[in-house]
Amino acid sequence: MRLPINLLALTLSILPSTLAVFADEAYNTDYHHELLGLPQPHTTFFHRPRSDEKATLLYTLSDLGVLGAVHPGTGKVVWRHVLEGEGYLRPVEGEGTLVSGTGKSVQAWDGMSGRQLWGNSFAGQVKDVEVMETVAAGEGEKDILALFEEEGKAVLRRLKGGSGDVKWEYHDATEDLPFQVSTNVKDVFVVSLHGARGGYNVKVSILDPVTGKKINEYTLTTKGDVHAPEDVLLVGANSAAPIIAWTDKLMKNLKVNILGKSGNLQTLPLKESDGEIVKVTIHAPDLVQSLPHFLVHSHSAVSNRADVYHINIASGIINKEYELPKLPGKGALSTSSQDANVYFTRTTQDEVIIVSSASHGILGRWPVKVDKTHGSFVYGAAEVVHKGTDSYAVRSAILTSEEDWVMVRNGAEAWTRVEGLSGAVAAEWAEIPESEDLAKTLEAEAHSNPLSAYIHRCQRHINDLQYLPGYLQELPFRIIGSVFSTDIASHKAGVLVRDNFGFNKLAIVATQRGRVYGIDSGGHGAVVWSLKAFDIPTGKKWDVKGIWVDSSNGIATIRGADGEYILVQTVTGKATEKMEPGNWPSVQSAAVVDSPSGTWILPIGVDGNPGEVPAKWAPKENIVVQGKNGEVKGLKFDVQGSLAVPITVWTFQPPIGQKIIGVTSRPAHDPVASIGRVLADRTVLYKYLNPNIVLVTAVSEESATAIFYLLDSVSGDVLYSTTHDGVDTKQHITSAMSENWFVYSLWSDILPTTSGLLASKGYQIVVSELYESDVPNDRGPLGANSNSSSLEPTDVANAEPALPHVFSQTFLIPESISHMSVTKTGQGITVRQLLCTLTSSNSIVGIPRTILDPRRPVGRDPTAAEQEEGLFRYQPVIDFDPKMILTHKREVIGVKDVITAPALLESTSLVFAYGIDVFGTRVAPSAAFDILGKSFNKLSLVATVAALGVGVVVLGPMARKKQINARWQTA
């Protein structure tokens, strides 16, 4: 029976309108931690980006110099900029504008879009930035006060709020250390530290805000208490009664001066609780209309308490109004203002309370529901909303001791940002360890008699039946995940497991603040664990020299510049061994070496001398180090009894005037699938595959040249060198090596080509390939020798080294490259891809190796034979096509390095970039030839096979009946 034509049309109409569009796989296999850095207490606040709206954004200028706005509801970054480093950030109340001061620059930003409104740079370093709350008649914007240190002297500038132009300047003739600027309703105060380090007095200069002329000046005697700028706890600004405060040496008393009142120095006793006070912080409003109240938060080793003080503006007397009770542990206190009202928000591990500065009555109280793994609360910024007569709400963005930034909304955790992961300085891949129980069991069975082995195997299989229910329970999810191309979870009951394709690996990341993180690449970059490895002093950075991962034992060894090291379990993050800084000689670098006792990480001293090591730990191969004067040296270890002593085999020192800035070697994992390149006529160009080559980059600033030397690390011979003139040596000069080729990038005024093209200038990338000879089927001077020596290349005495034949080509690129790396695969069959970090666009681009082929024909189309080799016409400019950008639309800022690792699939390489941000992805330079893509319709395949099966079952009897009937009819 035929279907009615109307029913057929109706059926077709409900089908999808198109089935030919392939969904973009971006953002599925990659992950990105969009970070800012640790928010600082004096540069983090809530602010309205639009004065006519009630909604606020959360702003911060982090310890890494990243200025950004965060949506307080979701925790997502709205916008961000990388500035010159730590500095100052102030909101312009009522205007939706922000003002920052970093390095030598002062800038104004639109709070909603992050667009820079204006910027102005000066000769000195910014020491403070404040907003003048008073607006002169006829002026719409509030002016900015910017304090600078120029040639050791204080310079204060008043900048116009609308343009940043200088309205007036004040120069301090003395060499006092400029510290901070403050204002009240009618005066401007410049606070400086007078004296030498070890004992300062505080000098306050009072200026006329209209002319910038000095009106008065007075000095506070603080030499016994103030030994560093950090000892001054607070210099209030923009309030009706700004204060300056510090503690005495023993932290028994708080000393406070109301700025502008030279004879008004008051001493407020600090009440101890549970031992001596170890830290004091002061919280005060910064609006001129706010009540002149402030809070003193004192900490002991085990508890914290707070006292609220009021200032009588008329008399200048400071009185204690009330106190908040002592509570165990640490807590965070923050200040928020609403018109004249001042609110203090106290957050502890148990509860959140709001109090008014005017009275001790609790306005709101909520129990804390925050994950305990974040640690204790350190400091934060709060926003209090008065909903009604007795109804309040509060949200606090708090930094925890585990360096997480947590939003606590009415006591409940709203979102968390792992800002401690920012500022990564080193990273390394780690395999997830496999269970060794089965391997040991099989080995035991192999060494026993057949009968006992059979019985043991039967017992093992019976014991494995306990896992059958869990396997059967998981089986439907595995089938569904296979059919619909969804990822199978890499965690089972909180335990990391390997996958069949080798995508699940761990990235061990060390940050400049002394923390170590474990990142799960198979779990979309989830943080598996974190560990505080070392306490890094304020103002310093953890200088990590090397990370080595022993994947078989699941141990990562991290070595620092001050001799410190730590051994960490890669799966759990627990420290198994640790050496504190200063207990071991300083380290210049570290190298992973192979020894008779196994692989280990060798620390290299500051002068390039690794020192003596036990004979059983002596490296088998030569190592390349840099001496104290920058020279490159080749070392080998000579075993003398129970010790092995390093001996200098050769030294490379470039000519006078040149400075070595980089040494690049082939990756440790760099397999070669083919020893030659097959040409179209079936002849072979044999690759120069010397595993002992290093590329040394030297520059001469006087002559503006860059020189690249290719050295043999065994003999120290120079195999090849090239020079580039007109180089901007202050720009990035980066390089990478793999197999038989190397590549580097620089800015040069001259583009050397053999095509006769006109000279050009700009950012360039130069690629060179090394072959044994330029003649096909010729193995060069070494011939077909299976073994050769870099020290004695041939049987001829004093023979010259076998030099490679080099094909080179230069390409222009649109922007600077700050780092290069090369993809890795298991067998090296897949074509390599050059990964470049772009500085201007904050992205990572993957350049196919075929584009960087130096044998591409120049000035003509390729012949048929060249096309068969995969060559195409040379174009001097490489445009970074959007399809080559691995980060897609994301901006990955502050990338310090990119590391790669092979997956079990030969087609795929894992990529991990770290710095301020963290980014990871998977790339397939030769396409995913060994795995089905997501565009493959597995459901249709299964349905087709099932339909064929049903058809066979249904039509089989019919076919057999027809055959039988046919035989009877024939008969």
Instruction: Write the DSSP string, 490-552.
Output: SEETTEE---TTS---EEEEEETTSEEEEEEGGGTTEEEEEEE---PPTT----EEEEEEETT
pLDDT at 15: 38
More confident residue, 423 or 796: 423
pLDDT at 430 over 80: yes
Q: Which among 508, 619, 646 is positioned nearest to 570, based on CA atoms?
A: 508
pLDDT at 969: 81
**596 close to 618: Cβ distance less than 8 angstroms:** yes
Model confidence over 705-734: pLDDT tens digits? Answer: 999 999 999 999 999 999 999 999 999 999
Average pLDDT value for residue range 681-693: 91
pLDDT at 588 over 80: yes
Q: Which tokens hold the place of 125?
A: 């370093």
Model confidence over 286-341: pLDDT tens digits? Answer: 888 889 999 999 999 889 999 999 999 888 899 999 999 899 888 999 999 888 89
pLDDT at 19: 35
Model confidence over 789-836: pLDDT tens digits? Answer: 666 665 555 566 788 999 999 999 999 999 999 999 999 999 999 999
Phi, psi of 450 (to 5 degrees): -55, -40
Residue 367: count other Cβ atoms within 10 Å of its Cβ: 10
724 forms beta bridges with 706
Phi, psi of 747 (to 5 degrees): -105, 125
pLDDT at 2: 44
Task: State the amino acid at position 885 in one-letter form.
Answer: I
Model confidence over 911-963: pLDDT tens digits? Answer: 999 999 999 999 999 888 888 777 777 788 888 999 999 999 999 899 888 88
Measured between alpha carbons, how far is 568 from 514 in angstroms, rounded to an integer?
A: 13
Model confidence over 147-165: pLDDT tens digits? Answer: 999 998 999 999 999 999 9
pLDDT at 69: 97
Which strand (E) or helix (H) includes residue 100? strand 97-102
pLDDT at 681: 87
Model confidence over 96-144: pLDDT tens digits? Answer: 899 999 999 999 999 999 999 999 999 999 999 999 987 665 567 899 9
pLDDT at 628 over 70: yes
Measured between alpha carbons, how far is 607 from 621 in angstroms, rounded to an integer?
A: 20
Q: Which among 158, 82, 85 is positioned nearest to 125, based on CA atoms?
A: 85
Measured between alpha carbons, how far is 420 from 402 in angstroms, rounded to an integer?
A: 7
Model confidence over 851-904: pLDDT tens digits? Answer: 999 999 999 999 998 998 889 999 999 999 888 999 998 999 999 999 999 999
Residue 493 pLDDT level (bands cut at 50, 70, 90): very low
Of 494-508, 554-568, 588-602, 699-713, which gets the smallest average pLDDT? Answer: 494-508
More confident residue, 446 or 466: 466
Average pLDDT value for residue range 220-236: 89
Q: Which tokens hold the place of 182?
A: 């403050």
Residue 413 pLDDT level (bands cut at 50, 70, 90): very high
More confident residue, 479 or 453: 453
Measured between alpha carbons, how far is 52 from 112 in angstroms, rounded to an integer?
A: 13
Residue 759 pLDDT level (bands cut at 50, 70, 90): low
Q: Which tokens hold the place of 834?
A: 């050059």
pLDDT at 696 over 80: yes
**842 close to 66: Cβ distance less than 8 angstroms:** no
pLDDT at 846: 95
* Residues 612, 618, 623: CA angle, nearest 5 degrees: 90
pLDDT at 948: 92
**192 close to 214: Cβ distance less than 8 angstroms:** no
CA 297 to chain centre: 34
> To the nearest whole number, what is the mean pLDDT of the chain?
88
DSSP assignment string, 646-703: EEEEEEE-PPTT-EEEEEEE--SS---S-SEEE-TTS-EEEB---TTEEEEEEEETTT
